[in-house]
Amino acid sequence: MKKIWNIGIKVKITLGFTFILIVLISVQYGLNKSISNVIASQEELLKSTKLSTEIESIKSSVCFFESKVKGYVLTGNDSLLENNEKYLNDIVSKFSDLKKLAPNPEQIVAIDKLVGLLNDEIALTDEIMFQYQINPNNSIELIKSDKGRVLLTNILKEFQKIHDIEEVKYKEILSRNKKDSELVKQMDASAYVFAFLLITLCVWVLFRDISKRERLEKELIITQKKAEHAAAIKEQFMANMSHEIRTPLNAIIGFNARLNKTKLDAEQKEYAEAVQSSGENLLAIVNDILDFSKIEAGMVRIEKIRFNLSNLLQSLITMFVGQAKEKQVNLELKISQNVPQFILGDPTRLTQILINLIGNALKFTNQGSVCVEVDLISIHDKNVTIIFKVIDTGIGIPTEKMPEIFERFTQAKSDTSRIFGGTGLGLSIAKKLVELQSGTIQVESIQGKGSEFSFNIPYIITEGEDNDLKKNNDNDKKIEITGNLKILVVEDNILNQKLASFMLKDWKIDFDICDNGKLAVEKLKSEKYNLILMDIQMPEMNGYEATEYIRNQLKLTIPIIAMTADALPGEKEKCIGFGMTDYISKPIKAIDLKNLINTYINIDL
């Protein structure tokens, strides 16, 4: 029974109306049948009444005819014989009609017998008339004889029999008609009652469903709040994990980079490079996990930005040239001539997808080539669909693994991660990013011969000149600093404090360091700074609280750059929402920090 009530409201309404329709049709059918019975009974009553009337009429006609014949014999009045023949034909004709009105077999037998008696009466009348012409006294004797009296008595008796049968039948019809009429009334009343009950039931079901829906909505709101709370806890957990992992990574990679710049012997150099490589690999794994968490949380925003597709692809190839040379693998880029140069879309997500696919292709290709092909699938007005292919001659993918290659944490072999590294999230991230841009991705592969990953994404063609800024490829060049510059570093981690101080000293920038936001606020009350590098998670007063105080209480417009390990979705927007100017995530690269400083203090570093 519970299963019935748990079905959807649409199904309930459909079943309810179907049931109502069936019942109403049944009631209407019964009502129509009862009305038909009443009508039939009325017709039978009409027939019965007509039959009784006809019997009385024929009976009167026969008696009248006999009295006319007797009157003629006794008085000799010729006028009494006028139209006698026609009168007799009318009586016979009435008997024919009488048989049509009397469906009862007993009545038909009585009518047939009555016709026979009437014929005997006609024969007797003819005999009287004949004897009257010969000898009137003979005709009078015939009239007075028992034969005529007995014949008339039998005729009247048969008439009475027919009448009695019809009387019984009339009463039966009348009784049945009364019952049918009562049944019609009852069914009519039942229909009203049933309709009222059905309406009441429907209203009750609707109210019950509405109450259930309201209860479910309340439960859904509670569940949603719990889910949001759980998501917030998850996000906070990921933020904390990101902070706890990336903060020491920032120190490891940063200090190791500085170590590589010192005088090291060959063995020490090898150790330092191994640490650098391991740190960067660990950072890549952390970034993959964070990217995946962003997508799973539905917090990845697809932007619509005008960009130069050709330049973006050339930059990507340049990024992987060194890796390709190390493995002695030929890296090619082929762009079809019909591919538009300037398009509207999300260059960051396209870059992320291609980095995953090209990086994978180079990782699993030990000889041969990796080719990136770009072509146009369709064009309609300014809407285009572009296909990107990454083709390699690497180890390929086993056939049985093809259907699940885009699933998270899935790799072609169980030892792939151990041999080649990685988390097994790259292809899953790429697939989700393609789908978020209304595209599709697929793979074709032959084990031992190579793979072809292809994906297509719709874009919008834009026009204009290439105004992209020229990239500074000379990142290792030492840049001299001019001007009186002072920066406040707000950071609680001692290692990161030292790393920041080394960078700023290298750039000849004057700075102060505070362990938390509360000390930074006190510093700002007495000192002037050109820029603040603000960590987020700190004791006493965190970066958000410190920034709000600086903006709202101290009323300072000094640029504040968030310098945090919380690289989760929306973190930059959150920082800006609290009043910060910009955001840089840890581990911090020296060139990125220099560019930010140069941007906001307007001094060429």
pLDDT (tens digit, 9 = 90+) per residue, 454-501?
999 999 998 755 444 333 333 333 334 445 789 999 998 888 888 888
User: The domain that contains 550 carries what CATH number?
Assistant: 3.40.50.2300
Residue 228 pLDDT exceeds 90: no
Of the chain, the percentage scoring pLDDT greater than 90 comes to 19
The answer on 450 and 532 residing in a single domain is: no
3-state secondary structure 448-475: CCEEEEEEEEEEEECCCCCCCCCCCCCC
- pLDDT attached to residue 420: 42
**Mean pLDDT, rounded, for 3-17:** 61
- pLDDT attached to residue 460: 94
- Tell me whether residue 67 is in a domain: yes
**Mean pLDDT, rounded, for 233-252:** 69
Strand residues in 203-345 grouped as ranges (E): 305-308, 330-335, 342-345
The answer on 421 and 353 residing in a single domain is: yes
Residue 516: C-alpha distances to residues 250, 404, 486, 533, 559 (Å): 19, 48, 18, 12, 18
- pLDDT attached to residue 473: 36
Collect all residues with Cβ–Cβ distance below 8 Å to 565 and sequence separation of at least 6: 242, 243, 244, 245, 246, 247, 250, 537, 585, 586
**Mean pLDDT, rounded, for 382-394:** 93
Contact 562, 575 (CB under 8 A): yes
Q: Is the dihedral of CA 394, 395, 398, 401 positive or negative?
A: negative
The answer on 490 and 441 residing in a single domain is: no
- Tell me whether residue 77 is in a domain: yes
- Tell me whether residue 436 is in a domain: yes
- Tell me whether residue 291 is in a domain: no
- pLDDT attached to residue 31: 66
Out of 32-36, 101-105, 339-343, 354-358, pick the least confident: 101-105
**Mean pLDDT, rounded, for 224-252:** 71
- Tell me whether residue 548 is in a domain: yes
Boundary of a domain, candidates 428, 461, 494: 461
Q: Which of 340, 342, 451, 440 is nearest to 392 (CA)?
A: 451
Q: Which of 169, 258, 161 is nearest to 505 (CA)?
A: 258
**Tally of domains within the chain:** 3
The answer on 179 and 59 residing in a single domain is: yes
The answer on 496 and 355 residing in a single domain is: no
- Considering the chain, what is the average pLDDT of its residues? 76
- pLDDT attached to residue 512: 93
User: What are the residues facing 343 on neighbouring strands?
Assistant: 307, 461
The answer on 500 and 439 residing in a single domain is: no
pTM: 0.45
Residue 30: C-alpha distances to residues 24, 144, 217 (Å): 10, 63, 45
**Mean pLDDT, rounded, for 24-43:** 69
The answer on 160 and 28 residing in a single domain is: yes
Q: How many CA within 13 A on the CB side of residue 483?
A: 11
Contact 556, 565 (CB under 8 A): no
- pLDDT attached to residue 517: 93
Boundary of a domain, candidates 145, 180, 209: 209
Q: What is the pLDDT of residues 162-210, one digit of tens each?
A: 777 767 777 777 777 777 777 777 777 777 776 777 777 777 777 777 7
The answer on 170 and 120 residing in a single domain is: yes
User: The domain that contains 30 carries what CATH number?
Assistant: 1.20.120.30
The better pLDDT of the pair 309, 44 is held by 309
The answer on 122 and 14 residing in a single domain is: yes
Q: What is the pLDDT of residues 266-291, one digit of tens each?
A: 888 777 777 776 776 676 667 666 66
- pLDDT attached to residue 200: 79
Question: Distance between CA 369 and CA 330 in Å, rounded?
Answer: 4
Collect all residues with Cβ–Cβ distance below 8 Å to 147 and sequence separation of at least 6: 124
Q: What is the pLDDT of residues 120-129, one digit of tens each?
A: 777 777 777 7
Residue 242 — very low, low, confident or very high, per pLDDT cuts 50/70/90?
low
- pLDDT attached to residue 601: 80
The better pLDDT of the pair 299, 49 is held by 49
- pLDDT attached to residue 474: 37
- pLDDT attached to residue 484: 72
In terms of C-beta density within 10 A (0-12 exposed, 13-18 middle, 19 or more buried), how is residue 123 classed? exposed
Question: Distance between CA 144 and CA 124 in Å, rounded?
Answer: 12
Out of 96-105, 216-225, 468-477, 575-584, pick the least confident: 468-477
Q: Which of 229, 62, 85, 295 is nearest to 156 (CA)?
A: 62
Question: Distance between CA 595 and CA 13 in Å, rounded?
Answer: 66
Q: What are phi and psi of 586, to 5 degrees?
A: -85, 150
Question: Distance between CA 371 and CA 331 in Å, rounded?
Answer: 6
Q: What is the pLDDT of residues 309-351, one digit of tens each?
A: 998 898 788 878 888 888 899 999 999 999 999 999 988 789 8
Query: What tokens does 472 get?
Result: 């500074």
- Tell me whether residue 232 is in a domain: no
Question: Distance between CA 398 and CA 412 in Å, rounded?
Answer: 7
- Tell me whether residue 60 is in a domain: yes
Boundary of a domain, candidates 209, 243, 274: 209
The answer on 167 and 19 residing in a single domain is: yes
- pLDDT attached to residue 291: 66
Q: What is the pLDDT of residues 418-462, one digit of tens each?
A: 344 444 577 888 898 899 899 999 999 888 889 999 999 999 998
The answer on 451 and 542 residing in a single domain is: no
Question: Distance between CA 97 and CA 54 in Å, rounded?
Answer: 9
Residue 213 — very low, low, confident or very high, per pLDDT cuts 50/70/90?
confident
- pLDDT attached to residue 524: 93
User: The domain that contains 328 carries what CATH number?
Assistant: 3.30.565.10
Range of 499's domain? 486-601
Query: What tokens does 493 get?
Result: 């981690």
User: What are the residues facing 372 on neighbouring strands?
Assistant: 333, 390
Q: What is the pLDDT of residues 511-539, one digit of tens each?
A: 999 999 999 999 999 999 999 999 988 88
- Tell me whether residue 134 is in a domain: yes
- pLDDT attached to residue 398: 84
Out of 43-52, 195-204, 362-371, pick the least confident: 43-52
Contact 433, 349 (CB under 8 A): yes
Q: Identity (one letter) of the amino acid at 364?
A: F
Collect all residues with Cβ–Cβ distance below 8 Å to 444 and sequence separation of at least 6: 451, 452, 454
**Mean pLDDT, rounded, for 98-110:** 67
Q: Identity (one letter) of the amino acid at 595?
A: N
Collect all residues with Cβ–Cβ distance below 8 Å to 319 and sequence separation of at least 6: 355
Of the chain, the percentage scoring pLDDT greater than 70 comes to 70
The answer on 491 and 456 residing in a single domain is: no
Collect all residues with Cβ–Cβ distance below 8 Å to 170 and sequence separation of at least 6: 45, 48, 49, 52
